[in-house]
Amino acid sequence: MHGQRPVIFYTNGYEIFIWDDAKNEPPRSLFGFYSRDSLHYCLFQTRERKAQLAALNPKETIVDRIYQIEAVKRVAENFDKRRRKALIIQATGTGKTRVAIALCELMVRAAWAKRILFLCDRRELRKQAGDAFDDYLPSEPRVIVKVETGSDRQKRIYLATYPAMLKYHQNFDAGFFDLIIADESHRSIYNRYRDLFRYFDAYQVGLTATPVKFVFRNTYRLFECETEDPTFNYTYEEAIRHDPPYLCPFKVVKHTTKFLRGGIKYNELTKTQQEELDDQVEDPELVDFEKEQVSRKVFNKDTDRKILQNLMEKGIRTGDGTRLGKTIIFARNHTHAKQLVALFQEEFPQYGGDFCVRIDHYEPRAEQLIDDFKSTDGSKNLTIAVSVDMLDTGIDVPAVVNLVFAKPVKSYAKFWQMIGRGTRLCPDLFGPGKDKKFFQIFDHWGNFEYFDEPKKEEEPAQPISLIERLFEARIKLGEAAISAQDPAALKLSTRLLAEDIAALPEECLCVREKWREVRAMQNPGMLDRFEPATVATLRREIVPLMRWRDARGGSDAAYQFDFLVAKLEAARLTKSAAAMDIRDAIINQVLELPINLAQVAEKLEFINKAKATAFYEGASIQDLENLRIELRGIMRFRKAPVIATIKPLVLDIREDSAGVEYKAHRPKLEGLELAHYRHRVEGVLRGLLDQSTALKKIRAGLPVAPEDIAELTDDVLLQDPDLHLEELLIHYPNKSNRIELAIRQIIGMDAARVNEHFRAFIQKYPQLNANQIRFLELLKSCIARYGAIQLDQLWEPPFTSIHSGGVDGVFTDDKQVTALLDLLAELNLNDPAA
């Protein structure tokens, strides 16, 4: 081939690099060479692909909302800047999948991508994604990656679950895919599936609905974003504030019982309840369950009856009021879900057996049931889905109007996802022109109260595997041998370490990434010297690789035995007091071997030796090692003591009606809940704007008398008895504690008055340049919309979009900056006490 700039591959013996300088791309590391076909397409791209991806618009038939178009543009701009990864965060229901499909279409059209991999974490979501590609990109051939199709090379779109792709990814060369889209990108993909993203040399986009501050750092790192700074972010609050809203708001009702709040304890029951309990258990006085054990260790039927009765009485119904609307009940576990369904059929038999069903991983018809639940044409009776994890995330059912939290939730990210099951719009749900306006949440476990105070979830630590601990124990054995000046023990330690290192799989990406260090440890004499630098490298670089070691040489029981023997050998050398406890642990394991098995009986001599404490008193390190070698192979036959499984206690004690709490919930809101609260308050206040003297003054930036505020408070209570204006100061605080400033943050300020002040400012400084005028226009719009702006916001987005230095970067004249701050003070936008 002549006249063609080649794609350059080069290696230093440990790492492989690709340098496609014809596309002005910097070198990047690979974990394998391109196939002939992938290399041909790479050269085709050099000739044919559009220079600027962001110069093209996504198809409006796929994405038609401005924020969706912006999301595609943001990713395209990222790729144009030679950044190969991006992270999109969008609230549930705002069309992440459509954005992803629009990006796929754009990159195919621009010759940036030939083959695309779309990853999901469950089969149900894979099916949902396939349906979306059917709707918006039907002309592109696609395939589901599974055992029958794991070698298919002829399609454009490849749909796969993470586990399936991890199993088959090496069927494809490193350059096979041009774009990888990872749906539901959360911590598990970093911990468990990171190799997929490292193996394929593709553009990569992560999608998640988890709010920005609850996305773990590892996820940002995987997609090469700064923490809390994704490529694109569109929040629930933005969606609900749009006119018309893109998502539905919600109402929360707290409905709890005494047992759900305080557990089931005999000495706290009423006399009637104690009598009921006496008839159901032999030792009623021993019934003492905390609330965390309810619906886990103990199931009380009447507690769940109250949950179901509340739903049927207070849940949102269809347009004619005769039928409950689509509902998801989040159950605590499989047993709890079974009880809820059984109780529903007992209490409401008139609805039939398919009105309320359980959908969880024990249900073989789960996928079909989900399809039935999604149906809105009246052909399916399924209305209440009792879910255990399967409907908590990802599944789209716009007709859902009731969510029932029948379990506690401790993860805010998951809590957000669960609430997202109800946020989707559903036009004409209650009849022609009668759209879904909001949905109802019944919180039976105080989850909203739990999340009132912001909780930062800790990033989960990577668990340490047994083989990692074994390797560490053998390092300690070597250190102990040096301290005890025992060359035989040191030789044993280094031999075992060398065998472990030799068992590392060369095809594993994590091992290949550290191949230089692995080879260094395999150099003759390196381990034998056991120098401090060598030990440090073993601990820092090699120990973490042991989780990938080929473990086919033994069972977990064998490695557990190896681990105990290594610990005992080191303890003997250091004369540690722990040696006796380790010895006893070894004896206990040996005692669990069934000598009636032929394979075990063959080792009876060594078993008897290992059971005798006298053996350990005079045993050398080599004696212990010989014992390990003889017995490790039969440790898989150990008969561990059977721990009796205690069946959960099932009771039917009537809940005391006096202990039932039912009330609308008004938490100290943040994020998702705050958006709904603001939507509710804004609706009431804007409805009063034309008639309220106080609101007119607040919007105009004029002083407001106390009697005007009092009159406004009364007017608001008439519109919504549960809305108290004084609570605004909790959610919209200001340093002078003035209610009118809190209100102004919601209703904004009179745009004409704001415009008048800014026009005067521009006339005063005719030398202002275009960027400065644009900054003032942005500031004016924010003030008119939100009624206030804190000074420190002038150095934050969106004001840094014009210059990274914010107001200081745009305005270099100190007099102009001072005059601008005076303007804000004149408008009385900032808290005077600030």
For 267, how many CA atoms within 13 A lie in the half-sphere containing its CB? 3
**Res 188: pLDDT:** 64
**Res 828: pLDDT:** 57
**Res 471: pLDDT:** 96
**Sheet containing 28-30: order of strands:** 8-11, 16-19, 28-30
Identity of the residue numbered 212: V
Q: Which residue has the higher pLDDT, 402 or 192?
A: 402
CA-based radius of gyration for the chain? 33
Helices 96-109 and 66-80, axial angle in degrees (round to 10): 50
Residue 338 in contact with residue 363, Cβ under 8 Å? no
The two three-digit tokens of residue 631, written as one number: 């017995």
- The residues that bridge with 298 in the sheet, in sequence order, are 294, 649
**Res 830: pLDDT:** 46
Mean pLDDT of 753-773: 81
Mean pLDDT of 383-392: 92
Three-class secondary structure of residue 486 per DSSP: coil
Q: Which residue has the higher pLDDT, 154 or 19?
A: 19
- The residues that bridge with 109 in the sheet, in sequence order, are none
CA 355 → CA 290, 317, 328, distances in Å? 33, 14, 12
pLDDT digits 0-9 by tens, 765-794: 877 777 887 788 788 878 877 776 777 788
**Res 671: pLDDT:** 53
Residue 578 in contact with residue 566, Cβ under 8 Å? no
**Res 618: pLDDT:** 85
Mean pLDDT of 587-591: 94
**Res 832: pLDDT:** 39
The two three-digit tokens of residue 558, written as one number: 């064998």
Q: Which residue has the higher pLDDT, 697 or 557?
A: 557
Calculate the average pLDDT of the chain: 87
Residue 244 scores a pLDDT above 50: yes
Residue 417 scores a pLDDT above 80: yes
What's the rounded Cα separation, in Å, for the pair 504 and 486? 28
Confirm whether pTM is higher than 0.85: no
Mean pLDDT of 68-84: 92
The two three-digit tokens of residue 549, written as one number: 């070691």
* CB atoms near residue 332 (< 10 Å): 18
**Res 831: pLDDT:** 47
Biggest CA–CA distance in the chain, Å, is 102
What's the rounded Cα separation, in Å, for the pair 397 and 371? 9
**CATH code given to domain 8-234:** 3.40.50.300
Nearest to 512 by CA among 49, 30, 72, 163: 30
Identity of the residue numbered 722: D
**Res 204: pLDDT:** 96
What's the rounded Cα separation, in Å, for the pair 458 and 45? 43
CA 816, distance to chain mean position in Å, is 46
Residue 341 in contact with residue 357, Cβ under 8 Å? yes
What percent of the chain clears pLDDT 90, i.e. is strictly above it? Answer: 49
Do the domains spanning 8-234 and 250-443 agree at the CATH topology level? yes
- Least confident segment among 189-193, 421-425, 809-813: 189-193
**Res 184: pLDDT:** 80
250-443: CATH topology is: Rossmann fold (3.40.50)
**Res 834: pLDDT:** 40
Residue 644 scores a pLDDT above 80: no
Mean pLDDT of 20-35: 88
pLDDT digits 0-9 by tens, 438-480: 999 999 999 988 887 666 666 666 788 999 999 999 999 999 9
Residue 111 in contact with residue 44, Cβ under 8 Å? yes
* CB atoms near residue 488 (< 10 Å): 12
Nearest to 209 by CA among 201, 219, 218: 219
Three-class secondary structure of residue 77 per DSSP: helix
What's the rounded Cα separation, in Å, for the pair 741 and 699? 10
Q: Which residue has the higher pLDDT, 138 or 457?
A: 138
- The residues that bridge with 650 in the sheet, in sequence order, are 299
Three-class secondary structure of residue 236 per DSSP: helix
* CB atoms near residue 620 (< 10 Å): 13
The two three-digit tokens of residue 430, written as one number: 């209650």
Mean pLDDT of 191-210: 89
What's the rounded Cα separation, in Å, for the pair 723 and 688? 14
Mean pLDDT of 333-359: 95
pLDDT digits 0-9 by tens, 515-526: 999 999 999 889
DSSP assignments along 3-19, one per residue: S-PPPEEEE-SS-EEEE
Show me where the domains of the chain are located.
8-234, 250-443, 466-637, 667-747, 751-826
**Res 119: pLDDT:** 94
**Res 833: pLDDT:** 38
User: Please, which pLDDT band fits residue 170 given cuts at 50, 70 and 90?
Assistant: confident
Nearest to 474 by CA among 384, 391, 393, 542: 542
**Res 669: pLDDT:** 47
For 181, how many CA atoms within 13 A lie in the half-sphere containing its CB? 26
The two three-digit tokens of residue 183, written as one number: 């749906």
**Res 643: pLDDT:** 65
- Least confident segment among 179-183, 286-290, 765-769: 765-769
Residue 1 scores a pLDDT above 70: no
Residue 90 scores a pLDDT above 50: yes
Residue 250 in contact with residue 440, Cβ under 8 Å? yes
Q: Which conformational region is residue 402 in: left (phi greater than 0), alpha (psi within -120 to 50 degrees), or beta?
A: beta
DSSP assignments along 515-560, one per residue: HHHHHHHHSTTHHHH--HHHHHHIIIIIGGGGGGS--TTS-HHHHH
Percent of residues in the chain assigned helix, strand, coil, to nearest 5 = 50, 10, 40
Nearest to 561 by CA among 535, 537, 583: 583
**Kind and range of the H or E element at 562?**
helix 556-574
**Res 675: pLDDT:** 62
Q: Which residue has the higher pLDDT, 580 or 730?
A: 580
User: Please, which pLDDT band fits residue 186 given cuts at 50, 70 and 90?
Assistant: low
Residue 680 scores a pLDDT above 80: no
